[in-house]
Amino acid sequence: MTEPLRVLADFLAESAAAIHDMCDDSNRTPEGIRALIARRANAPMAELGNRSVVDVLAVKLTDPSSVPPTTPPSLRRSLGSSAPPLTQPSPRWQAKSRSLLLKSMAPGPPLRWPL
């Protein structure tokens, strides 16, 4: 079996040349060019052990259960802060927050209607 990387490089170079030639043909459509490239890329090649270019370039998906879970990003007080993330709000912050919430829900002055 020939070196797969060399075969892939040759395939891509030949495909580029074929696409350039097809661009000069006024009867070719983008869909037709795409279909031709797909056929060529999916055709088994002896040089690749009767595998297609698509098979050789295929990315192997890993089993999600075998991948360790990622930790969530740490929470910061602000984007520019280098302080450690807050684990619990302070009692002072909670009191101030409650106070502001009550003020925001309090009824305002009666509405005035234009004369």
Do residues 34 and 22 make contact, with C-beta atoms less than 8 angstroms apart? no
Determine contact, residues 74/86, Cβ cutoff 8 Å: no
DSSP string, 49-91: TSB-HHHHHPPPPPPGGGSPPPPPPPP-SSTT--SPPPSS--H
Q: Tell me which residue range forms the domain holding 25.
A: 4-59
Res. 23: pLDDT tops 70? yes
Cβ-contact 56, 9 below 8 angstroms: no
* 73 within a domain of the structure (yes/no): no
Three-state DSSP at 48 gives helix
Work out the mean pLDDT of the chain and round it to a whole number.
76
Q: What's the whole-number mean pLDDT along residues 14-19?
A: 84
At residue 73 the predicted structure's pLDDT band, cuts being 50, 70 and 90, is: low
Q: 18 lies in a domain?
A: yes
Residue 48 pLDDT exceeds 80: yes
Tokens 């074929």 belong to residue: 18
Residue 70 pLDDT level (bands cut at 50, 70, 90) = low
- What's the pLDDT at 112? 72
Alpha carbons 12 and 25: distance in angstroms, whole number: 20
Q: Which two tokens stand for residue 16?
A: 């580029």
- CA end-to-end distance (rounded Å), the chain: 94
In this prediction, residue 67 carries a pLDDT of: 62
Total domain count, the chain: 1
